[in-house]
Amino acid sequence: MNQSDDEQLRDEAEDIRRETADAAPEVAEHDRIAELEKQLEEARSKALYAAAEAQNVRRRLEQELQQSTSYAVAGFARDMLAIKDHLDRALAAVSDELRADKTASQFLAGIEATARELEAVLQRNGVTRITAIGEPLDPHRHQAMVELPSDAEPGTIVEEMQPGYMIKDRLLRPAMVGVAKKP
């Protein structure tokens, strides 16, 4: 028996079924129930698909919201790092003579307290300093500015020109560093 014979038999069976259904209401009722069950199954399938899609959209939106709130302060933090750099450079430039002066030392204590508070605020918001000196150069966290002759292993950071910072797990600003090369 080939495929066309199968199709012919199916068509004949369907014709007999229709003729019988006209004469027997229970067969028509059975067909109607079967059709309704098929429609119910299709509706159930569509509802499950829609619920899964809604859950995926909700999960994606929650992730986007979490990321946007986590990193929303990145621009502000980057701007605050410039202020921190200025404070650090100003404090590093103060001579020992000036630190010995009573009036100047009180003024400097206030500036140092401001610098410490700024550092604490950055840390509370997930901004951390990148370790540089003594570390191997990592192009994802460090920016090599110069190669310096050194006894250290080539590629090791031997000088930090500007500290780098991360905000949570993202780079906020790379550390600008000097890297060892063979003398």
Q: Specify the pLDDT at position 9.
A: 85
CA distances from 64 to 54, 57, 73, 121 (A): 15, 10, 15, 25
Q: How far apart are CA 101 and CA 18, in angstroms?
A: 110
pLDDT at residue 31, as a whole number: 77
pLDDT tens per residue across span 39-57? 999 999 999 999 999 999 9
Q: How many residues are present in the chain?
A: 183
Residue 153 has φ and ψ, to the nearest 5°, of -55, 130
pLDDT at position 161, please? 93
pLDDT (tens place) for every residue of the chain, 183 residues total: 566 888 888 888 887 777 766 666 776 687 788 889 999 999 999 999 999 999 999 999 999 888 787 777 888 888 899 999 999 998 999 888 888 888 888 989 999 999 999 999 999 988 999 999 999 999 999 999 999 998 888 989 999 999 999 998 889 999 999 999 887
Report the greatest alpha carbon distance in the chain. 116
Structure tokens at 2: 């080939």
Residue 142 has a pLDDT of: 95
Where are the domains positioned within the chain?
3-69, 73-125, 127-183
Distance of CA 13 to the CA centre of its chain: 61
Q: Which two tokens stand for residue 165?
A: 């910072």
Report pLDDT digits (tens) over 160-176: 999 999 998 889 999 99
If 0-12 CB within 10 Å is exposed, 13-18 middle and 19+ buried, where does residue 147 land?
middle
Give domain 127-183's CATH number out of 3.40.50.1370, 3.30.70.1280, 2.30.22.10, 2.60.40.60.
Answer: 2.30.22.10
Could you tell me the two tokens for 100?
A: 């010995």
